[in-house]
Amino acid sequence: MQDKALEGGVITDRLATDKLTTDKLTTDKLTTVLRVEALAAFVLATLMYAHTDGSWGWYFALILVPDLSMLGYLINNRVGAICYNIVHSYVLPMLCFIAALILNISLLEWLSLIWLAHIGLDRTLGYGLKYASGFANTHLGIAIKKAQTN
């Protein structure tokens, strides 16, 4: 049986974490696919924003706001991972975007697109969803790069 648990919205999977360090070739290929998908999400959200009448000043001012979720790490790794993962999942901004279209709320549409662009940019740069074991351990395998540089 795998050493796997869902603890407060954060998956702790010892075998998956070990796999990141033992199967580098497979992980690198999958990580590349995920990062290219994230780049596509970033570009699409930004292009969609360009077709609205949203302000580019606000776009650049707000693009990093979702990273305030990292403040959860001041409490501990588990709380930090939960906060970060809630804000850095595509689900909430997509639901907000759909609501914005249905309810015809331009401000919510702009904020949703900025939020989606942020997530895409973060994942393109290698900042993925976090494991409770620490900020550097993500679904994109940042832990591998950290371990190799030490």
First to last CA, the chain: 32
What would the pLDDT profile of 22-37 be if each residue is shown by its tens digit?
A: 455 566 788 889 999 9
Q: Using alpha carbons only, what angle is made at residue 15 by residues 10 and 18, rounded to the nearest 5 degrees?
A: 105
Taking the model in full, what pTM does it have? 0.77
In the chain, where the domains are located = 4-149
Task: Assign 133 to helix, strand or coil.
Answer: coil
For residue 112, give both structure tokens. Answer: 């949703």
Cα–Cα distance between 75 and 106 in angstroms, integer? 35
| pLDDT, tens digit (0-9, with 9 covering 90-100), for 89-102 | 999 999 999 999 99
